[in-house]
């Protein structure tokens, strides 16, 4: 009983240390509400440290105030090996932020009378059609595709190596990248939110068919160029190569610049400043410019921002994201002060990006990073930005903190268990009750399989946990790795007493 009490006290002591460390990881940077100089000074002071803490090579940021771009800055490295600094002009893949930009292209066609948002997508397609399913394709409308409520498959795309022969749009829709990327209807349309990059690939085909232009060409002519986004493109054109950052994985290794046939879902290249201009275009300008800036109407912007489908209640994704609903290309989030943000994040291999629009304060935040760990950096920036706006801390950060404490508690229990096992194992070796000798059997095989599983978790969670709880990733990796080593050690030893009893 005495030992158990000591064990509990040790657990509580270590948990307290974890809580203090986690609290220390939270942004406490002082910022004065509404004072732009205060905000940029805090970012200048803290971002280099955040990049270092989370293992992110570089980042570029931009801010819009009163509907106009007022500040943009780069930090760290666009290319670590070549020593190229990240700049405001650095080009990044922004992954799924391609979706709200694509939504503007769709809305432009709708306001020109070329399409009906509530018509079935099948009415505009001739080059490809949804495969037959047990659900009515009549409900797969353009509006529902924009709001991820059409019931289609394919969450996202991994991209293709730069030297690979990219499939055609029709081949991609038919699953050229594997059966997991075959776009099809898997649930009844209009019933629930279910994120589908595949739905945006179908919209890409629709834009090409209706406009008679290639998707990238249409978007450049009708959306990007009119908004002054001349250093942005849905194609990785030669004139972007020199300014494009290098992407890095969660362990800091260089990744190739993956390319996409599925450009509407994941293919946009842009800079922080130009993406901020896109965000600002949804707001009235200082000089009387209307929201939409002539590309779409103010009413069209309101349509994009209006909640189209509620986020699923009670789901872990909803809990961690803190989002209320999805509009047409944008997530909707309510802040503690009652204001709303319209946002989207992006996450291709080697890239993490963030766009937030606050119509109440005519403000926009853009954070672009060249790392799988970049979500941790844009979370830190978002917390500071929310303080500067005076809108209160988004609820998702409170939820993430609760989850972090839970992960900390589990990690401590597992580590304490590992310490106890190591003590008993070492003692049995010293007392010659065990010896190193691999004896094939189901028990040994099971331990090796467990070691492989733990090793796989150590390898795979680096990206997953760093994306959700970056502050805890290092501890969890250590736990997985140590337990994997323990399982291997255990498999390669046998009980000396057991051997003697068989002789």
Instruction: State how far the Cα of 241 lies from the Cα of 259, in Å rounded to an integer.
Output: 13
- For residue 499, the model assigns a pLDDT of 46
Is there a contact between 75 and 59 (Cβ–Cβ < 8 Å)? Answer: yes
Is there a contact between 366 and 355 (Cβ–Cβ < 8 Å)? Answer: yes
- For residue 21, the model assigns a pLDDT of 47
Average confidence (pLDDT) over 258-271 = 98
Paired tokens of 102: 């694509």
- For residue 472, the model assigns a pLDDT of 59
Average confidence (pLDDT) over 225-230 = 97
Looking at per-residue pLDDT, the higher value among 408 and 301 belongs to 301
User: In DSSP terms, which residues pair with 23 in a beta bridge?
Assistant: none
Chain centroid to CA 136: 32
Per the document, the length of the chain is: 503
Q: What is the percent of the chain where pLDDT is above 70? A: 80
pLDDT, tens digit (0-9, with 9 covering 90-100), for 134-174: 999 999 999 999 999 999 999 999 999 999 999 999 999 99
Is there a contact between 118 and 141 (Cβ–Cβ < 8 Å)? Answer: yes
- For residue 443, the model assigns a pLDDT of 61
Is there a contact between 247 and 36 (Cβ–Cβ < 8 Å)? Answer: no
Paired tokens of 324: 């209320």
pLDDT, tens digit (0-9, with 9 covering 90-100), for 10-59: 445 544 554 544 444 454 458 889 899 999 999 999 999 999 999 999 99
pLDDT, tens digit (0-9, with 9 covering 90-100), for 355-396: 999 999 999 999 999 999 999 999 999 999 999 999 998 988
Q: If you search the block for the tokens 């969670």, which residue do you land on?
A: 461
In the DSSP assignment, the letter for residue 372 is T
In the DSSP assignment, the letter for residue 224 is I
pLDDT score of 441 more than 60: no
Chain centroid to CA 266: 12
Where does the pLDDT of residue 420 fall: very low under 50, low under 70, confident under 90, or very high at 90 and above?
confident
Instruction: State how far the Cα of 80 lies from the Cα of 454, in Å rounded to an integer.
Output: 31
Q: What is the percent of the chain where pLDDT is above 90? A: 67
- For residue 413, the model assigns a pLDDT of 76
Where does the pLDDT of residue 454 fall: very low under 50, low under 70, confident under 90, or very high at 90 and above?
low
Instruction: State how far the Cα of 503 lies from the Cα of 499, in Å rounded to an integer.
Output: 7
Could you state, in order of their start, the residue ranges of all structural domains in the chain? 59-387, 400-502
Which residues have a Cβ under 8 Å from the Cβ of 258 and sit 6 or more positions away?
A: 93, 158, 159, 160, 161, 162, 247, 348, 349, 350
In the DSSP assignment, the letter for residue 432 is T
pLDDT score of 74 more than 70: yes
In the DSSP assignment, the letter for residue 340 is E
pLDDT score of 8 more than 80: no
Global pTM? Answer: 0.85
- For residue 374, the model assigns a pLDDT of 95
For residue 422, the tally of other CB atoms under 10 A from its CB is 14
Paired tokens of 27: 């942004």
Is there a contact between 119 and 160 (Cβ–Cβ < 8 Å)? Answer: no
Average confidence (pLDDT) over 84-88 = 97
Q: Lowest mean pLDDT of 77-91, 100-114, 305-319, 321-335, name the range.
A: 305-319
Q: Please list the helix, strand and coil fractions of the chain in percent, rounded to the nearest 5, in that order.
A: 50, 15, 35
In the DSSP assignment, the letter for residue 357 is E
Least Cα distance to 51 among 469, 401, 471, 376 occurs for: 376
Q: If you search the block for the tokens 């896109």, which residue do you land on?
A: 278
In the DSSP assignment, the letter for residue 283 is S
Least Cα distance to 392 among 361, 352, 367, 369 occurs for: 361
Q: If you search the block for the tokens 């805090």, which residue do you land on?
A: 42
Q: Are strands 363-369 and 68-79 parallel, antiparallel or unpaired?
A: unpaired
Instruction: State how far the Cα of 69 lies from the Cα of 62, in Å rounded to an integer.
Output: 7
Looking at per-residue pLDDT, the higher value among 458 and 240 belongs to 240
Q: Lowest mean pLDDT of 142-156, 225-239, 371-385, 470-484, name the range.
A: 470-484
3 state SS for 30-81: CCCCCCHHHHHHHHHHHHHHHHHHHCCCEEEEEEEECCEEEEEEEEEEEECC
- For residue 491, the model assigns a pLDDT of 67
- For residue 3, the model assigns a pLDDT of 46
Is there a contact between 62 and 276 (Cβ–Cβ < 8 Å)? Answer: yes
Instruction: State how far the Cα of 328 lies from the Cα of 104, in Å rounded to an integer.
Output: 9
Average confidence (pLDDT) over 236-247 = 96
The count of C-alpha atoms lying within 13 angstroms of the C-alpha of 168, restricted to the half-sphere facing its C-beta, is: 7
- For residue 289, the model assigns a pLDDT of 92
Instruction: State how far the Cα of 493 lies from the Cα of 470, in Å rounded to an integer.
Output: 36
Least Cα distance to 428 among 500, 488, 494 occurs for: 494
- For residue 408, the model assigns a pLDDT of 73
Considering the segment(s) 59-387 as one domain, its CATH architecture is 3-Layer(aba) Sandwich (3.40)
């Amino acid at each position: 009983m005495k030992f158990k009490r000591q064990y509990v006290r040790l657990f509580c002591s270590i948990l307290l240390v974890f809580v203090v460390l986690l609290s220390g990881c939270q942004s406490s940077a002082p910022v004065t509400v509404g004072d732009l100089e205060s905000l940029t000074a805090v970012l200048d002071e803290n971002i280099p440290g955040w990049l270092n803490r989370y293992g992110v090579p570089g980042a570029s940021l931009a801010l819009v105030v009163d509907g106009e771009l007022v500040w943009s800055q780069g930090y760290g490295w666009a290319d670590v090996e070549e020593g190229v600094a990240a700049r405001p002009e650095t080009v990044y893949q922004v992954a799924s932020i391609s979706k709200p930009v694509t939504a503007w292209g769709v809305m432009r066609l709708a306001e020109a009378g070329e399409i009906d948002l509530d018509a079935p997508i099948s009415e505009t397609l001739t080059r490809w059609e949804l495969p037959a399913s047990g659900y009515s394709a009549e409900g797969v409308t353009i509006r529902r595709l924009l709001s991820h409520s059409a019931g289609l498959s394919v969450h996202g795309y991994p991209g293709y190596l730069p030297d690979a022969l990219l499939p055609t749009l029709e081949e991609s829709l038919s699953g050229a990248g594997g059966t997991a990327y075959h776009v099809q209807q898997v649930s009844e349309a209009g019933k629930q939110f279910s994120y589908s990059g595949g739905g945006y690939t179908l919209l890409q085909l629709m834009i090409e068919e209706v406009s008679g232009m290639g998707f990238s060409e249409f978007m450049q002519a009708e959306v990007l160029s009119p908004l002054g986004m001349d250093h942005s493109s849905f194609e990785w054109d030669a004139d972007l190569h020199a300014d494009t950052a290098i992407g890095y994985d969660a362990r800091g290794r260089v990744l190739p610049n993956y390319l996409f046939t599925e450009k509407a879902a994941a293919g946009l290249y842009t800079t922080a400043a130009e993406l901020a201009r896109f965000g600002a275009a949804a707001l009235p300008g200082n000089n009387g410019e209307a929201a939409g800036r002539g590309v779409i109407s103010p009413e069209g912007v309101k349509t994009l921002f209006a909640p189209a489908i509620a986020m699923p209640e009670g789901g872990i994704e909803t809990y961690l994201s803190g989002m209320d609903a999805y509009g047409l290309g944008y997530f909707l989030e309510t802040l503690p002060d009652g204001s709303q943000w319209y946002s989207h994040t992006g996450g291709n291999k080697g890239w993490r990006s963030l766009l937030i629009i606050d119509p109440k304060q005519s403000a926009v935040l853009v954070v672009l990073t060249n790392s799988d760990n970049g979500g941790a950096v844009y979370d830190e920036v978002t917390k500071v930005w929310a303080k500067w706006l005076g809108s209160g801390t988004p609820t998702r950060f409170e939820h993430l903190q609760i989850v972090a404490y839970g992960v900390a508690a589990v990690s401590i229990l597992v580590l304490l268990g590992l310490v106890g096992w190591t003590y008993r194992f070492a003692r049995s070796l010293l007392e010659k009750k065990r010896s190193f000798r691999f004896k094939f059997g189901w028990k040994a095989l099971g331990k090796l399989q467990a070691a492989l599983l733990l090793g796989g978790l150590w390898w795979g969670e680096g990206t997953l946990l760093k994306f959700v709880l970056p502050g805890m990733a290092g501890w969890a990796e250590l736990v997985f790795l140590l337990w994997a080593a323990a399982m291997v050690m255990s498999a390669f030893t046998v009980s000396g007493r057991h051997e003697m009893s068989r002789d």
